[in-house]
């Protein structure tokens, strides 16, 4: 049985920490006794009040993961990190027809953040994790990374790519003792999912389910009801999950 990760006393870095799941993760880590939490964000001033209330446990960090210079600066400053959570992501376009040209405009921006940016940060922090006992690297993918979702055509493909990267990273960092975890949420009640009409899980419950999964030693975490349904279907018969999504889309037409 895999040994769980004790959150208390950890030094974490969460990207996209100023809102949504990222902010909820910062708050949940704080509640569980993390020693220090770097909140990486393009606008770190959004975390100023939380940093003050935490008496310095929360450390706002200027971090745009699409900018190599900012990633290197973050790595230089946060040398004590032993828990890295790649959460930052964007949706560039949604609900277009297949021939919609906006997909091609959205895709490069989505891939640069959701895939390349997360890989860039992981590469920068892998040596730091190694020096700090191996540590844990968490990639927040999506249930949309397990099966293609037409309403978010290109975003869904980025999360599939991150799922693949998670699996490869798990193998490539095994020798240095780094645990690599994939997280696959369903719809979450955040700004990014505002156009979805499906039931959405609260960010706080998703964040706590993620930390519960880490503490239980889970390698793949499905932090809400829909995510667990998709995860179970994906494990048994991926094609059945594809057919389920096709039937849902047909019903909406």
* 222 carries an active-site annotation: no
Among the options 36, 38, 111, 155, which is catalytic?
A: 155
Among the options 36, 38, 111, 159, which is catalytic?
A: 159
What DSSP assignment string belongs to the chain? -PPPPP-TT-EEEEESTTSHHHHHHHHHHHHTT-SEEEEEESSGGGGHHHHHHTTTSEEEEE--TT-HHHHHHHHHH-TT--EEEE--------S--TT-THHHHHHHHHHIIIIIIHHHHHHHHHHHHHHTTS-EEEEE--GGGTS--GGGHHHHHHHHHHHHHHHHHHHHTTTTT-EEEEE----BSSGGGTT--S--B-HHHHHHHHHHHHHTT-SEE--SHHHHHHHHHHHH-HHHHHHHHHHHHHHH-
Q: Whose CA is closest to 234, among 139, 117, 147?
A: 147
* 234 carries an active-site annotation: no
Catalytic annotation, residues: 155, 159
């Amino acid at each position: 049985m895999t040994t769980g990760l004790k959150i208390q006393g950890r030094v974490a870095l969460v990207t996209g920490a100023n809102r949504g799941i990222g902010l909820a993760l910062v708050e949940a880590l704080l509640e569980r006794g993390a020693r220090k939490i770097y909140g990486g964000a393009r606008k770190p001033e959004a975390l100023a009040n939380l940093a003050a209330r935490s008496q310095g446990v929360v450390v706002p960090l200027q971090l745009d993961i699409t900018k190599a210079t900012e990633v290197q600066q973050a790595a230089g400053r946060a040398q004590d990190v032993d828990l890295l959570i790649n959460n930052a992501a964007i949706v560039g376009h949604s609900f277009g027809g297949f021939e919609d040209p906006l997909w091609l405009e959205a895709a490069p921006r989505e891939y640069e953040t959701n895939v390349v940016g997360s890989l860039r940060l992981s590469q920068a922090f892998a040596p730091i994790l190694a020096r700090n006992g191996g540590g844990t690297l968490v990639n927040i993918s999506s249930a949309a990374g397990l099966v293609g979702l037409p309403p978010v055509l290109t975003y869904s493909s980025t999360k599939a790519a991150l799922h693949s990267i998670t699996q490869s990273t798990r193998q490539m960092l095994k020798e240095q003792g780094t645990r690599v975890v994939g997280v696959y949420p369903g719809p979450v009640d955040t700004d990014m999912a505002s156009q979805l009409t499906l039931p959405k899980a609260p960010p706080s419950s998703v964040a706590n389910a993620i930390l519960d999964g880490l503490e239980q030693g889970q390698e793949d975490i499905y932090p809400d009801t829909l995510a667990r349904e998709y995860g179970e279907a994906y494990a048994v018969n991926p094609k059945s999950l594809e057919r389920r999504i096709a039937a849902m889309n047909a019903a909406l037409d």
